[in-house]
Amino acid sequence: MAAGLRFDGRVVLVTGAGGGLGRAYALAFAERGASVVVNDLGGDFKGYGKSSSAADKVVSEIRANGGKAVPNYDSVEDGEKLVNVYNGSALMNKCTKIIMTSSAAGIYGNFGQANYSAAKLGLLGLSNTIAIEGRKYNIHCNTIAPTAGSRLTQTVMPQGELFNLYVFRHFSLCCMRWERSLGAIVRGKDQPMTPEAVRDKWEKVCDFNNASKPRSIQEVCHMDSESSNAFLVGRELTTKVYKYTHLEPILYALGVGMSTRDPDHLKFLFEGSEEFCCLPTFGVIPAQTSMFDGVPSIPGLDMDLAKELYGEKYRLLTVGQPGETLPNFTFLCLWNEM
């Protein structure tokens, strides 16, 4: 992998940084060395009121982690005040990056959101004009259209439906266009998603040889599902190996009620017993590994175990060599989802 993405010596102004996606952007830029201006009017999700607490909280969080940040409480209606700290350096250096946040509701429309849709698509037009006019000053302007759960969407979608965490990683590099590539998986198993991972897969992300052209929000959601399933074709499952010592079978036996008061139970509780062995039902323990750390961890496969109807498994007991007391288990899992 090439060098990491850093923003040392740069100033990043994030509007609406007191919560939601703005907060995620501010924290991530600060973590990567930027000096962050945390702007938030501090109003409620309906746009009323004013408070400094939202911006102050994020600034404190950044400083506690060793980053540089200052708060700003001005409304975006007074945009000139927001950029006074930044405007001079941007034009003097003739180099800056502007990222507008639009929405799929603006691009495709959505029921009950006429005013919101119009405003969000207006940002896209504004971004295009800024990009044209700013080109001679080396000022770049792009637009993203993320979807994530925040206090603004609590009345629209269930809480926890989408996450701010994943949106930022693409925010560092993405822009929107009217057709969509098949994309690429940029997060490995047990690995965090990073801007570097997006950058390293950028060629595949921008491969429009098999591009789709969604015309509505419903088509966007449907294609997301199809695209995720497409990554599963030809993927080989890794072998899961469960290793254990005498301790695990003994703890399991104690957990299901075996007691030293019963002489017949000693063979399950005392490793020094000549008849020491596992309870036959101990096989459910390694089976849980395949359930919780196996199939659900395949990139591109979205499986919610809370919605599973049933899982079928069989256990294959491999007979060991003479003198071996602990068997090996192999499991095959079949799944049906509600």
What residues act catalytically?
A: 116
Contact 271, 246 (CB under 8 A): yes
User: Residue 207 corresponds to which amino acid?
Assistant: D
Query: What is the Rg, in whole angstroms, of the alpha carbon atoms belonging to the chain?
Result: 27
Q: Based on DSSP, count helices (H) and strands (E) in the chain, helices before strands.
A: 12, 7
Alpha carbon distance 318, 320 (integer Å): 6
- C-alpha distances out from residue 242 to 313, 326, 329, Å: 16, 12, 8
Cβ–Cβ under 8 Å, residues 318 and 330: yes
Q: Which residues contact 225 (CB under 8 A, 6 or more apart)?
A: none
Beta bridge partner(s), residue 140: 97
Q: How many residues does the chain have?
A: 338
